[in-house]
Amino acid sequence: MSEESGVNMKKTNTMELVGKLLERYESQHGRVDHYYGLLAYWALAQAAVSGGREDYLQKCNRYLSLYPDNFEHPHYTFDSYRVGGNARAWLFMKGQMPEIEAELRKYAELTYHAPKGPNDILCLRGHMDREKDLRGVWIDVVTCTTPFMLYAGLALKEEKYIDFAAEQCIKMYELFLDATCGLLHQTKGLMQNPLRMSADHWSRGNGWGLIGLAELMRYLPENSTHRIKAKRYYMDMIDSLLPYQTSKGMWRQEIVEPLAWEESSGTGLILYCMGVGLRSGYLKEDKYREAFEKGIHGLAAYCLTDDYATHRGCPGCCCPGIGEEKGSVKAYITEKLPTSDEVHSYGCLMLAFLEAYRNGITEVEIQGLVR
């Protein structure tokens, strides 16, 4: 029991926690699908290799082998999901699933040729005004596109896929950057005035954008022309996030608003990206390690209970609000309220605790339920 809080706390292994969170996802939602399901399996795939977990690897193989032809697919905005997304591409890059080479190339080509807006950025189908050449774009796309195309390009030895991965991430970062605080907005082109940007600095949205930069830093070839810019943007964004970390180690739903609620999924993504930088040697100062450890232990203590339920998660969020309030800070805070066992939360937290394990944090304390 914590003397300060009076709450019973349970010690849990971080590698075990990755698997337990996916089990909780399955028990609460039955079907694991959509992009948030593939996010969870991307975390499990990496944990399987990092932790030498054959059980995790077998689970990944059983699930991902259903893609693309033996799975009842929901609606997708991007073709990469149909073949198994980042999880399947990463496993192929690591020498697993060699039989999917032709499928991976097919869906990488479809992604490469997907509809783009005037800034040559992948756009949201269904939010396009072709006459005015205005197309809705949003930062969430970085996470589904940059890692997938980067892994495919490296594995298939296709330079154009690697360049595409980097260019999409960098262009979206530059478009959505708020230079006054160094953080990202989520959308453009989804409001009544299609030229307007959403006013937010949404927690999970900043995580979606940062994760692309982190994977570029992790895997871009040393001679890539994109490395210098990707590293600068990654470091700039990490440094911009640090002042907004709360006393609990988390980031808020609207990051810069001190009265906004603390949000778990964005915090999980940010911590994953910070952990990647620590292991890669790009984040060398003690302040980064301290922020990472504080965040991991805060995420475990405040956002999990020992039945592996997740808490403080933001529900589905794409430029919320109605009329003049659409895309406003108020809408991001008041229309999207903290939720338990929210579908996005599992994969985000799995990624965070995976990086905790990789960085030597093998044990965290989570809240014990009163039974």
pLDDT of residue 62: 97
Could you tell me the CA-to-CA distances from 107 to 82, 103, 110, 189, 321 in Å, in that order?
8, 6, 5, 26, 34
The amino acid that residue 143 corresponds to is T
343 in a structural domain? yes
Domain membership of residue 133 (yes or no) is yes
Residues 11-23 have a mean pLDDT of 98
Among 113-127, 303-317, 346-360, which stretch is predicted with the lowest mean pLDDT?
113-127
Q: Which domain holds residue 242?
A: 14-355
Looking at residue 126, its pLDDT comes to 59
pTM for this predicted structure: 0.96
Residue 24 predicted with pLDDT over 90:
yes
With CA atoms as reference, report the closest residue to 261 among 222, 316, 213, 204: 204
Residue 371 domain flag: no
Asked if residues 289 and 4 have their Cβ atoms less than 8 Å apart, the reply is: no
Domain contains 368: no
Residue 135 located in a structural domain: yes
DSSP readout, 281-326? TS--SHHHHHHHHHHHHHHHHHHBBTT--B-SBPP--SS--SGGGT
Residue 304 lies in a domain: yes
Q: Is the pLDDT of residue 200 over 70?
A: yes
Report the distance separating Cα 107 and Cα 96, nearest Å.
18
Check pLDDT > 60 for residue 132. no
Q: Tally the domains of the chain.
A: 1
Burial (CB < 10 A; 0-12, 13-18, 19+), residue 322, is: exposed
pLDDT value at residue 368? 80
> pLDDT tens, 51-81?
999 999 999 999 999 999 999 999 888 999 9
pLDDT of residue 4: 45
Asked if the structure places residue 341 within a domain, the reply is yes
Evaluate if residue 1 carries a pLDDT over 50: no
Q: What is the CATH number of the domain that holds 35?
A: 1.50.10.10
Bridge partners of 254, per DSSP, are: 202
Residue 259: CB atoms within 10 Å: 7
Q: Is residue 59 assigned to a domain? A: yes
Q: What are phi and psi of 17, to 5 degrees?
A: -60, -35
Are 268 and 351 in contact by the 8 Å Cβ rule? The answer is yes
Beta-strand ranges (E) seen in the chain are 9-13, 128-129, 134-135, 137-138, 177-178, 183-184, 187-188, 251-252, 262-263, 363-367
